[in-house]
């Protein structure tokens, strides 16, 4: 052990004497004279004890602090330095103790104790003192439905017609209260489980794509970690904050709520973990991630092809919705600008079309927006960057999956230790997996029913076995055998095509990449040590890229 000696002084000399007396191997100081505190300290151990004890005026060492500022604002800190009392509502009222193996686990997961925390030492379990990620998400779902009147029988059309600034503000204040600044996110995340295949989705959280990228893959990947689309607005500039400037966030809030409602049954079942972006919860972590990210993207080039076209399509849809929501006078002005030869009859017909489209589109507000800057809407596509994905995947024992060439290139080019890019040993498995034409179910209700019934094809267990083999040093015989098993399982996967009676199945294939030492970055491993207390950061065994059949660019 190493004892670091402090600057000299009457009190500190006594502390240095204590440190040196108990050091087992080494001591260190920036001044050679400090290495010999015994030359100046001739007191007893009782005198050292007096130095260590707090003074009589305890208010100097703890207690609540309120500060008033000249501008009328105020600050608050409790005895532990927390700036709010949100932790009080997040602490369990009754701790779960002496639970049996078949009881729900004390960490708040959807699993029995025997299938969750029983196998883990006490120090390695998720927190049992405070509500976990799943419980906080379910609290948020309940609160949002109450704020919007859905729990009182209100319809989605009512929400679209009546969504107010106060409701937007209330929703984001509620979200912020569930994730206060002192949140230890790492202590709440699900722990690696050798019996569960878990994946972090490195992509955007959007209700229009979630079935194709997350929910439709749950029959094959048991659990998926997804970034929460809501922002912690208490840490944003007022002009950008949904709390201080809610009008500009109405459309985005509507989309985020739709995503939340789509995910709720899967959150309840414990198969979707909706987590806030780590850098938002922990500001110093976010600062370090941005520094690493800035260095990495100095030579970044804008993606081209289908990836960019997909994002542009989503943005175009949002722009079209804004046009549908404009007051009629503004719509006429817009039509006249782009179709100057349109007569009154044609203009009336286009406006009627706008109205019909707005009525049937669940993502469109049924209320006019203010004209000009006051009605401008923030359109946000929120996802995880490479560093955040690796951070979460390492802590949760996950693989990573993505659906864009840009993210795939980042993983391969910037997330391999030692820059060892060869994966030839896994080529038979990669080929076998790529041969399967996966039927991705876009019907969320049907996916939920399949999961409840335990209807998972054998390839799911083979993907879990792949994670175990990729994490260990194995010879080529294992890979050839696994490839053969995947080919045998192909028929049961593709049999789903014959089961479906509608067109809600999306054909997709999986591209595998398994580097010899797994996916990791030294910068992320440093962050794991600094902010999550990890002593031995784990690498991610492999990654999957979803390759869906892209629609024609004009469709």
Q: What are the tens digits of pLDDT across the range 440-468?
A: 999 999 999 999 998 899 999 999 999 99
In this structure, is residue 62 part of a structural domain? Answer: no
- Closest to 322 measured CA to CA, from 310, 311, 313, 331: 331
In this structure, is residue 452 part of a structural domain? Answer: yes
Neighbouring residues of 499: CB distance < 8 A, sequence distance ≥ 6: none
In this structure, is residue 122 part of a structural domain? Answer: no
**Chosen domain end from 375, 393, 420:** 375
Same domain for 162 and 236, yes or no, is yes
Instruction: Say how far apart CA 132 and CA 108 lie, in whole Å.
Output: 6
Structure token digits, residue 359 = 């009525």
Would you tell me how many other CB atoms lie within 10 Å of the CB of residue 105?
23
Pairing of strands 74-77, 65-68: antiparallel
Domain carrying residue 43: 2-56
Same domain for 280 and 326, yes or no, is no
In this structure, is residue 136 part of a structural domain? Answer: yes
pLDDT of residue 423: 66
Q: At what angle do helices 283-296 and 522-532 cross, to 10 degrees?
A: 180
CA of 328: how far to CAs of 219, 343, 436, in Å?
46, 16, 51
In this structure, is residue 511 part of a structural domain? Answer: yes
Would you tell me how many other CB atoms lie within 10 Å of the CB of residue 38?
12
Same domain for 181 and 241, yes or no, is yes
Same domain for 293 and 316, yes or no, is no
Instruction: Say how far apart CA 143 and CA 155 lie, in whole Å.
Output: 16
Same domain for 531 and 412, yes or no, is yes
pLDDT of residue 296: 84
**Chosen domain end from 333, 353, 375:** 375
Instruction: Say how far apart CA 440 and CA 450 lie, in whole Å.
Output: 13
91 half-sphere exposure, CB direction, 13 A CA radius? 5
- Closest to 213 measured CA to CA, from 437, 548, 504, 503: 548
pLDDT of residue 477: 81
The pTM is what?
0.84
Q: Report how far apart the first and last C-alpha atoms of the chain are (Å, whole number).
A: 66
Residue 489 has φ and ψ, to the nearest 5°, of -80, -10
pLDDT of residue 1: 46
pLDDT of residue 387: 95
Same domain for 288 and 314, yes or no, is no
Neighbouring residues of 460: CB distance < 8 A, sequence distance ≥ 6: 197, 219, 220, 221, 222
Same domain for 513 and 420, yes or no, is yes
Same domain for 354 and 448, yes or no, is no
Same domain for 472 and 518, yes or no, is yes
In this structure, is residue 529 part of a structural domain? Answer: yes
Q: Which residues pair with 383 in a beta bridge?
A: 204
- Closest to 224 measured CA to CA, from 18, 387, 384: 384
CA of 472: how far to CAs of 194, 431, 465, 466, in Å?
13, 21, 11, 10
pLDDT of residue 219: 95
Q: Which residues pair with 543 in a beta bridge?
A: 400, 513
Provide DSSP, 294-338. Answer: HHHGGG-----THHHHHHHHHHHHHHHHHHHHS-HHHHHHHHHHH
Q: Are 229 and 462 in contact (CB under 8 A)?
A: no
Which regions of the chain are under pLDDT 50? 1, 551-555
CA of 56: how far to CAs of 50, 59, 60, 537, in Å?
11, 9, 9, 44
Same domain for 44 and 154, yes or no, is no
pLDDT of residue 77: 80
Q: Are 479 and 469 in contact (CB under 8 A)?
A: yes
Same domain for 328 and 270, yes or no, is no
Residue 513 has φ and ψ, to the nearest 5°, of -140, 120
In this structure, is residue 347 part of a structural domain? Answer: yes
Same domain for 346 and 457, yes or no, is no
pLDDT of residue 101: 92
Q: Are 394 and 190 in contact (CB under 8 A)?
A: no
**Domain count along the chain:** 3
**151-210: per-residue pLDDT in tens?**
999 999 999 999 999 999 999 999 999 999 889 999 999 999 999 999 999 999 999 999
């Amino acid at each position: 052990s190493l004892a670091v000696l402090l600057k000299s002084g009457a009190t500190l000399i006594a502390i240095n004497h204590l440190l040196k007396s108990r050091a087992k191997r080494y001591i260190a100081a920036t001044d050679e004279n400090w290495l010999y505190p015994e030359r100046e300290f001739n007191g007893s151990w009782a005198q050292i004890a007096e130095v260590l004890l707090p003074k009589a005026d305890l208010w100097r060492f703890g207690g609540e602090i309120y500060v008033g500022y000249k501008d009328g604002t105020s600050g608050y800190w409790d005895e532990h330095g927390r700036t709010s009392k949100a932790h009080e509502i997040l602490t369990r009222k009754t701790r779960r103790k002496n639970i049996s193996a078949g009881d729900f686990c004390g960490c708040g997961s959807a699993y029995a104790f025997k299938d969750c925390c029983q196998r883990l030492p006490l120090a390695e379990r998720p927190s049992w003192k405070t509500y976990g990620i799943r419980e906080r998400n379910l609290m948020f779902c309940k609160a949002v439905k109450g704020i919007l009147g859905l729990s009182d029988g209100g319809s989605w059309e009512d929400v679209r017609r009546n969504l107010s600034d106060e409701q937007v503000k209330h929703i984001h204040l509620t979200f912020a209260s569930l994730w206060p600044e002192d949140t230890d996110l790492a202590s709440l995340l699900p722990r690696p489980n050798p019996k569960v295949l878990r994946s972090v989705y490195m992509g955007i959280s959007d209700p229009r794509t979630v079935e194709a990228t997350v929910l439709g893959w749950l029959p094959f990947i048991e659990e998926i970690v997804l970034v929460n689309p809501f922002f912690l607005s208490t840490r944003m500039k007022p002009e950008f904050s949904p709390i201080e400037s809610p009008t500009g966030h109405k459309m985005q809030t509507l989309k985020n709520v739709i995503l939340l409602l789509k995910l709720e049954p899967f959150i309840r079942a414990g198969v979707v973990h909706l987590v806030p972006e780590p850098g938002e919860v922990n500001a110093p972590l976010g600062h370090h991630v941005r520094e690493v990210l800035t260095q990495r993207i100095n030579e970044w080039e804008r993606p081209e092809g289908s990836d960019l076209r997909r994002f542009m399509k989503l943005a175009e849809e949002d722009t079209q919705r804004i046009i549908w929501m404009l007051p009629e006078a503004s719509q006429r002005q817009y039509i006249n600008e782009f179709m100057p030869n349109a007569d009154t009859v044609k203009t009336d017909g286009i406006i009627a079309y706008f109205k019909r489209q707005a009525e049937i589109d669940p993502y469109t507000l049924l209320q006019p927006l203010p004209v000009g800057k006051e009605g401008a809407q923030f359109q946000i596509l929120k996802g995880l960057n490479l560093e955040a994905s690796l951070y979460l995947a390492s802590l949760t024992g996950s693989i990573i999956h993505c659906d864009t060439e840009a993210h795939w290139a980042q993983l391969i080019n910037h997330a391999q230790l030692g820059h060892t890019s060869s994966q030839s040993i896994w080529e038979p498995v990669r080929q076998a997996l790529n041969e399967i034409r996966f039927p991705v179910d876009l019907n969320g209700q049907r996916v939920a029913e399949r999961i409840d019934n335990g209807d998972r094809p054998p390839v799911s267990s083979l993907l879990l076995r792949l994670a175990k083999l990729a994490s260990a040093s194995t010879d080529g015989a294992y890979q050839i055998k696994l490839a053969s098993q995947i080919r045998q399982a192909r028929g049961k996967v593709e049999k789903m095509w014959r089961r479906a009676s509608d067109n809600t199945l999306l054909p997709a294939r999986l591209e595998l990449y398994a580097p010899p030492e797994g996916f990791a970055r030294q910068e992320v491993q440093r962050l794991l040590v600094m902010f999550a207390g990890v002593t031995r950061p784990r690498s991610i065994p492999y990654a999957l890229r979803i390759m869906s059949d892209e629609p024609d660019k004009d469709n």
